[in-house]
């Protein structure tokens, strides 16, 4: 299952209306994202999420790409911009004999980039930083 599909499943289970925004460009022979970084848009009664989906190995590269993107800075005024990375992690559960279980499961790593994308003097940036500290 792809990171985009895992993200869509997670969002729908948690009450979001979600849609995939990337598509395959047949002529260029590559995938194209909305504004160059948005794979999934999700909305519920409280917020709008613009999500870049990835696996754990490419998280830092996607973060650097988003922070340089002009459209991401503009979108941060109206939506939460996040990176969701999926990766295999040990479950950390113990077996009946007391040893660690070596079984792995897919885990989600979420990182919000909204506060980093907004100007430091922005009212919205201050508001979101205060909410993050609470």
| Domain that residue 125 falls in | 3-133
Higher pLDDT, 1 or 120: 1
CATH number at 14 reads 3.40.1350
- Residue 134 is predicted with a pLDDT of 67
> Tokens standing for 70?
């002009």
- The CA-atom distances, in angstroms, between 51 and each of 89, 99, 112, 132 are 22, 38, 9, 18
- DSSP conformational letter for 56: G
The fraction of the chain above a pLDDT of 70, given in percent, is: 95
Res 11 pLDDT > 90: yes
pLDDT at 123: 61
Angle at CA of residue 86, ends 102 and 131, nearest 5°: 115
pLDDT of the residue at 97: 83
Indicate if the alpha-carbon torsion angle 72, 76, 79, 83 is positive or negative.
positive
| Domain count across the chain | 1
- What integer is the mean pLDDT of 26-46? 91
Which pTM does this prediction carry? 0.78
């Amino acid at each position: 299952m792809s990171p985009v599909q895992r993200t869509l499943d997670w969002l729908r289970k948690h009450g979001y209306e979600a849609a995939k925004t990337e598509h395959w460009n047949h002529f260029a022979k590559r995938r194209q994202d909305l504004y160059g970084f948005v794979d999934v848009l999700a909305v519920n009664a409280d917020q709008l999420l613009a999500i870049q989906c990835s696996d754990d190995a490419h998280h830092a590269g996607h973060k650097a790409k988003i922070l340089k993107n002009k459209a991401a800075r503009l979108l941060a005024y109206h939506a939460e911009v996040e990176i969701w990375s999926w990766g295999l992690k040990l479950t950390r559960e113990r077996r009946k004999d007391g040893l660690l279980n070596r079984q792995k499961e897919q885990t989600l790593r979420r990182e919000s980039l909204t506060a980093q994308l907004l100007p430091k003097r922005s009212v919205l940036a201050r508001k979101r930083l205060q909410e993050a500290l609470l």
